[in-house]
């Protein structure tokens, strides 16, 4: 099986001009207050002055890349997206501090440094973000046009469910960062600096979809739950979307796919698909389903 494995901190993942993309048809952002709070409690434990933990393990991050510069996030997009939103919330708080009366001018520098290191940069001409992270087709517009520029007030009309979750996550983390660090810009910067060095991922990098699915099967055999349904959907819809003549059909097909998944459940869908395939084609074993399709 052709893949590489390494342990990396968040700082290492976002350094050196590396860029990440949530595939177009990967699932939307779905984390809510329970997941945000669990992550927050883990992070606060990393910066506790009296009893700080040396590191926090964030689990597997499965990436696909042909060139080791740009990566598709096969599994781990919820965690990577949430960390980006949290860092944006810290930047927003630093910007608020920099504009307060009698403010420390260094807070603007701290905000700019965090943005350039972990988020990306705004094109000075177009003001379009050149981001280290690109989200899927339902989330990327809100992320790049409203969250990254730190629009005030943050748009709340006409958002889909996952965009609203992104908005709420930003406000939730901004509120908690403000309570954690009060009016101290140094404390905000120190908090983020500790997180990017202490959050540890096991990064598995593969070269193509087939190897990604083999990694999926291996991890599931070890009790690490990834979604074969998401992987299958991304692969199949990405192939279909390459033919521009099918653009009008894709939305309807995606709605039908999601309807079936919601009816069956994500865990049972691959077996349903295998049964359907076997009813019309040569029999295929579960382990060979992804390769055959």
Residues 158 and 282 in one domain: no
How many Cα atoms are found within 13 Å in the side-chain-facing hemisphere of 162? 17
Residues 175 and 241 in one domain: no
What's the pLDDT tens digit per position in 58-84? Answer: 988 989 887 878 999 988 999 999 999
Structural domain for 256, as ranges:
227-292
What are the tokens at 291? 């390769």
Residues 48 and 92 in one domain: yes
- Whole-number pLDDT of residue 176: 96
Q: Is 233 inside a domain boundary?
A: yes
Q: Which of 149, 171, 203 is the last residue of a domain?
A: 203
- Listed residue (29, 8, 28, 31) closest to 18, CA to CA: 8
Chain centre to alpha carbon of residue 106: 30
User: Given the structure tokens 């944006």, which residue do they identify?
Assistant: 88
Residues 67 and 108 in one domain: yes
Query: For the chain, what is the domain count?
Result: 2
C-alpha distances in Å from residue 42, one per residue of 31, 53, 166, 259: 16, 9, 20, 35
What's the pLDDT tens digit per position in 192-238? Answer: 999 999 999 999 898 876 666 667 666 655 544 556 677 677 677 76
Q: Decide the pairing of beta strands 129-131 and 56-64.
A: unpaired
What's the pLDDT tens digit per position in 120-163? Answer: 976 677 776 689 999 999 999 999 999 999 988 888 899 999 99
Is the bond preceding 243 in cis, omega lying within 30 degrees of 0? no
For the chain, how big is the Rg over CA atoms in Å? Answer: 21
Q: What is the pTM of this model?
A: 0.81
Residues 143 and 32 in one domain: yes
């Amino acid at each position: 099986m052709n893949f590489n494995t390494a342990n990396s901190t968040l700082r290492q993942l976002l350094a050196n001009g590396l860029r990440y993309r949530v595939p177009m048809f990967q699932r939307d952002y779905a984390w809510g207050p329970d997941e945000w709070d669990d992550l927050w409690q883990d992070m606060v434990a990393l910066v506790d002055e009296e009893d700080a933990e040396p590191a926090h393990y964030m689990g597997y991050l499965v990436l696909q890349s042909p060139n080791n510069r740009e990566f598709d996030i096969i599994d781990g997009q919820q965690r990577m997206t949430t960390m980006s939103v949290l860092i944006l919330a810290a930047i927003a708080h630093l910007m608020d501090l920099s504009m307060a009366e009698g403010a420390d001018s260094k807070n603007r520098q701290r905000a700019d440094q965090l943005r350039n290191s972990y988020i990306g940069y705004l094109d000075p001409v177009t003001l379009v973000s050149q981001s280290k992270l690109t989200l899927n087709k339902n989330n990327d517009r809100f992320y790049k046009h409203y969250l990254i520029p730190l629009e005030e007030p943050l748009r709340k009309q006409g958002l889909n469910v996952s965009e609203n979750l992104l908005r709420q996550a930003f406000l939730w983390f901004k509120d908690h960062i403000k309570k954690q660090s009060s009016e101290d810009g140094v404390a905000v910067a120190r908090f983020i600096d500790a997180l990017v060095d202490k959050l540890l991922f096991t990064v598995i990098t593969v070269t193509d979809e087939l190897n990604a699915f083999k990694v999926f099967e291996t991890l599931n055999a070890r009790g690490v739950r990834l979604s074969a349904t998401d992987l299958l959907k991304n692969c199949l819809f990405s192939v279909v979307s390459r033919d521009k003549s099918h653009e009008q059909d894709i939305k309807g097909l995606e709605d039908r796919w999601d309807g079936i998944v919601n009816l069956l459940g994500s865990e049972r869908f691959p077996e349903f698909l295998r049964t359907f395939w076997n009813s019309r084609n040569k029999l295929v074993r579960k382990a060979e389903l992804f390769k055959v399709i």
